[in-house]
Structure 1
Amino acid sequence: MDILETIYATPAGKFVARKVGLADPPKLRRGRLLPTGPIVLGELEGGRIGRETLTLIGVTPGQPVLDVPEARVKDEKGRAVPPRYPAKPGAIVVDATGVRELTELEGIRCLLRPVMRSLEPSGRIVILASDASAVEGLEAKAVAQAIDGINRTIGKELRGGATSNLVFLKEGTGPSDLASTLSFLLEGRSAFVDGQTWRVGPAKVAHELSAKPFADRIVVVTGAARGIGAAIGRTFARDGATVVAVDIPASGDALAKVANELGGSALQLDITAADAGARIASHVASRHGEDARIWAIVHNAGITRDRMLANLDEKTWASVLDVNLAAEMRINDFLLSADHPGGLGEEARIVGIASTSGVAGNKGQTNYAASKAGVMGYVWALKEDLADRPITVNAVAPGFIETEMTAAIPFVQREIFRRTNSLSQGGNPVDVAETLAYLCGPASGGVDGQVVRVCGQNLIGA
């Protein structure tokens, strides 16, 4: 802890920080917890999937308050203000799947204005809309993108750790396809996902939601010895998974400790080895039997070798691309090439780790940004290659996450990284882990080819 951080932690330091606009960030609701206040449903004309999906996940929605002229009240200064909710709502789900015309966007404003300053801490706004690919006409397609702009803006205007996210629904999507996504967004599992948009479509194989979605299922996590990787392993184990923890031999002791904690197994492996995919499959088969198959593989292992491009030689360049991207591709190529003993199952989930640096670039990280942008491109392309198989492929793109590595960043720089998002704080490793577990869930089969940012709506690339 440097001198500035020491001063900041004192009462006087906190007082000065508040005076200059650096108040303590809100505490976020995490875990499998729904909001404590009522979950309100706002249905615009033509929308019904929101109600059906809420019923499916066991939520009875409350009635929304509408901001219409006749319902407004006067404040102490005589100004007309929107009507108030009798109790702070925990969340509002806006079903805008039937919206096709620009004038119909008024309905979204009418629903959202009363909740913008009324949501409970860590409240939720979830907007459901039809994907542009599922609507006809130029105006309807423009409206879909307009809703995205609404979502990203209100995410930046909310207070107290509240978040807003938008789900675009592809043609043919039903309540069972949407249920896992809506559950994730309403619960504390999505604490650090804010201002984001992704798509859900019809699942090739339907599964019901479960409190232990990975029971009797094998999940492989690379880079599992510490930090985000260890949190990923713990989250999957909490949800019933048999975890195969993978990391380099130099991290063998830490890896064994994590694997033992989770009741799983450890595989010491350099993922850049040409036979890495074969060795993963062999390990699974030897530990769990020839008929065992991997339900999900989480390609978490990664490195940074930050240099300004003017100082970046070919070895440093290649090492980052090899670990962060090429190794993932080689492992997947092997596991997807045939029905290997201990290989991927028929409905496997493949997830990678991208980064906000891959979304927007970052000074001194040309090699890292290239590798993480490459992960996104690979996910989009592989999804198309696997279109005739019930395997899904997705990625998360973390922003600033509090780890041992980021704790070594100088205090002022670290505070800047923490504060430059809508939630004014860094995320926790579990935030990344929860999003990965959501993407790998059996009931998330309708989520495919998506990159979900876990960044608190980081201003970089926002």
Structure 2
Amino acid sequence: MSDRYLDLATSTVGQRLVGALGLPTPVRLERWQSGRMHPVDGALLLGGASLAASLADGWQRLSDQGFASEAGRFDLPVWDPEQGPALKALLFDASALSRSEDLDQLRRFFQPALRHLTQCPHLVILGRPPESLADPMAASTQAALEGFSRSLAKELGQGGTLQLLYVDAGAEDQLEGALRFFLSPKSAYVSGQVLRLRACAARVADWTRPLAGRRALVTGASRGIGAAIAETLARDGAEVWLLDVPQASDALQALAARLGGHPIALDISAADAPQQLLQALPQPLDILVHNAGITRDKTLKNMDDSLWNSVLAINLQAPLRLTEALLDGGGLADHARLVLIASISGIAGNAGQTNYAASKAGLIGLARAWAPSLANRGISINAVAPGFIETAMTATIPFALREAGRRMNSLGQGGVPQDVAETVAWLAQPGSGAVSGQVLRVCGQSLLGA
């Protein structure tokens, strides 16, 4: 569905009008297009010390224009605010900051750069997990990065995003994969997020097809976000199995034919769904994406049994039952990647959605609870929590609520299915085993929830 306000605000006449009226001026976001040579299409500025030094030999794979904030760093030319190019991406390593006075380094790095950003810039701060540090002052200083990063993300404007990555000792070699996502348009609608990277032995062999040779299953795959996920996994090299209800067979088969995939028509809430799924899969899966879900909205005082039970059965109980069956029945390979599609409603709650919010919060809890035991097989599990995404479902929301959903975030607009799909595809990569038991919001830094 078209966002008419965004269309107006980005038109030549509209820009003057919204400026004169003092209205919000969202920027049309840049999104990934196949054929790009580098994740960063423009100048990349690096600052800080130790962790970023692990990219000293590899920053060229991120951008063809690299600059350092200070002389003698990374064998790069020093960026000059007066004469240097506008900046497309900023990477600051704050992992060595150990005293409150050190936090001024953040201001000294970012302040001059913020005045010279292009549209849709991507910023990343690196730190050490505060809980891993024995020194209370160092832990406090690293914890301060979270407040700084979330606040600066809300100041950027121009379609800019900012993330904080806490990197465990031993996980430095997984930085490239994370930065290829967070410094590129693949993370266009992800901002203000805090993520932890842990050591992971798996590697991506070919960045042009990071999922080559991997088998993926996507539920709820016939349309909307599910279809976008399937398309993106296939683009990145995965062989895809597409699952949806029998009523969606025509759309499912058409998409499978286009992607060279395999359709599975199955009601995941059926009593024998786990057994049917195992029989339909010829080999163990490397990637499992639980996307299927429904809404049946009513205030709790007006909600009958069927509305409550159907949402919990499909959104929460089915993913649990199917995953258990695949784990027990040999349907999931070692080092598999599991992604659960949750929602910011599961974090912030939403009036009229006690059933839906409970189911999505349950998925987030499932990711956190299952991560430690699955780690024994090298399997990661994470939740992705979309915010307002432009789909056929959100197009039916009443106008006022729809506009509130679109505007109540730092980017001033709704996301698109591709935004969720790109996030899932990154979490599905071999090296993204560095992330597990976490929830990553795709919401434009929504004002709802944490």
TM-score in same-fold range (> 0.5): yes
Give the aligned residue type for 1:49: S
Distance 2:361 2:95 in 1: 31
2:30 — aligned with what?
29
Distance 1:376 1:303 in 2: 17
1:303 — aligned with what?
294
2:74 — aligned with what?
none
Two-structure CA RMSD over aligned residues (Å): 2.7
Partner residue of 1:98 out of 70, 85, 96:
96
Give the aligned residue type for 1:38: A
Q: Aligned pair 1:40/2:41, yes or no?
A: no
Where 1:90 maps in the other structure, the secondary structure is strand
8 A contact 1:208–1:443 mirrored in 2:
no
8 A contact 1:198–1:450 mirrored in 2:
yes
Report the Cα offset of residue 85 of structure 1.
5.9
> Structure 1 residues 56 and 97, CA, compared in 2 at 3 Å: closer, same or farther?
farther
Where 2:47 maps in the other structure, the secondary structure is strand
Report the Cα offset of residue 25 of structure 1.
2.2
Give the aligned residue type for 2:291: N
Partner residue of 2:240 out of 206, 222, 243:
243
8 A contact 1:131–1:168 mirrored in 2:
yes
8 A contact 2:42–2:63 mirrored in 1:
no
Q: How does 1:218-233 map to 2 (within 5 A)?
A: 218-233=215-230
Give the aligned residue type for 2:30: R
Give the aligned residue type for 2:54: I
Partner residue of 1:448 out of 436, 444, 447:
436
Partner residue of 1:351 out of 339, 342, 354:
339
1:378 — aligned with what?
366
8 A contact 1:209–1:443 mirrored in 2:
no
Report the Cα offset of residue 444 of structure 1.
1.5
Partner residue of 1:334 out of 325, 334, 345:
325
Give CA deviations for 1:89-111 in whole Å, capped at 9, x if unaligned: 11110011111211111111110
8 A contact 2:24–2:412 mirrored in 1:
no
Report the Cα offset of residue 278 of structure 1.
2.7
Where 2:164 maps in the other structure, the secondary structure is strand
8 A contact 1:40–1:92 mirrored in 2:
yes
Distance 1:349 1:337 in 2: 16
Distance 1:195 1:357 in 2: 17
Report the Cα offset of residue 8 of structure 1.
10
8 A contact 2:40–2:62 mirrored in 1:
no
> Structure 1 residues 358 and 51, CA, compared in 2 at 3 Å: closer, same or farther?
farther
Give the aligned residue type for 2:277: I
TM-score normalised per structure 1: 0.88
Q: How does 1:283-298 map to 2 (within 5 A)?
A: 283-285=280-282, 292-298=283-289
Report the Cα offset of residue 345 of structure 1.
1.2
2:77 — aligned with what?
none
Report the Cα offset of residue 43 of structure 1.
1.3
Where 1:26 maps in the other structure, the secondary structure is coil
Distance 1:393 1:21 in 2: 44
Report the Cα offset of residue 4 of structure 1.
11
Unaligned ranges ≥5, structure 2: 72-79
Give CA deviations for 1:351-406 in whole Å, capped at 9, x if unaligned: 10111111111111111111111111100010012131111111110000001111
Report the Cα offset of residue 208 of structure 1.
3.6
8 A contact 2:81–2:113 mirrored in 1:
no
> Structure 1 residues 21 and 278, CA, compared in 2 at 3 Å: closer, same or farther?
farther
Report the Cα offset of residue 84 of structure 1.
4.4
Give CA deviations for 1:124-173 in whole Å, capped at 9, x if unaligned: 11000001132122212211221011110011000211111110112321
Distance 1:350 1:461 in 2: 24
Report the Cα offset of residue 459 of structure 1.
0.5
Where 1:120 maps in the other structure, the secondary structure is strand
Q: How does 1:56-95 map to 2 (within 5 A)?
A: 61-64=66-69, 84=82, 86-95=84-93
2:135 — aligned with what?
137
> Structure 1 residues 301 and 99, CA, compared in 2 at 3 Å: closer, same or farther?
same
Distance 2:111 2:406 in 1: 28
Q: How does 1:259-270 map to 2 (within 5 A)?
A: 259-270=256-267
2:124 — aligned with what?
126
| Between 257-266 and 193-202, the greater mean CA deviation after superposition | 257-266
Report the Cα offset of residue 277 of structure 1.
2.7
Distance 1:35 1:204 in 2: 26
Give the aligned residue type for 2:247: A
8 A contact 1:274–1:330 mirrored in 2:
no
1:420 — aligned with what?
408
Distance 1:122 1:318 in 2: 42
Partner residue of 2:168 out of 167, 170, 192:
170
Give CA deviations for 1:255-280 in whole Å, capped at 9, x if unaligned: 11111111111111111123323322
Give CA deviations for 1:295-318 in whole Å, capped at 9, x if unaligned: 101000001111111112222112
Report the Cα offset of residue 27 of structure 1.
1.7
Report the Cα offset of residue 6 of structure 1.
12
Q: Aligned pair 1:402/2:390, yes or no?
A: yes
Q: Aligned pair 1:203/2:200, yes or no?
A: yes
Give CA deviations for 1:232-262 in whole Å, capped at 9, x if unaligned: 1111111111111100011111111111111
1:111 — aligned with what?
109
Give the aligned residue type for 1:182: L
1:79 — aligned with what?
none
Distance 2:319 2:376 in 1: 21
| Between 240-249 and 47-56, the greater mean CA deviation after superposition | 47-56
8 A contact 1:170–1:200 mirrored in 2:
yes
1:154 — aligned with what?
152
> Structure 1 residues 51 and 8, CA, compared in 2 at 3 Å: closer, same or farther?
closer
Give the aligned residue type for 1:111: F
Give the percent of matched residue pairs that are identical in Structure 1 and Structure 2: 41
Unaligned ranges ≥5, structure 1: 67-81, 286-291
Distance 1:6 1:145 in 2: 39
Distance 1:274 1:158 in 2: 50
> Structure 1 residues 3 and 147, CA, compared in 2 at 3 Å: closer, same or farther?
closer
Distance 1:35 1:58 in 2: 5
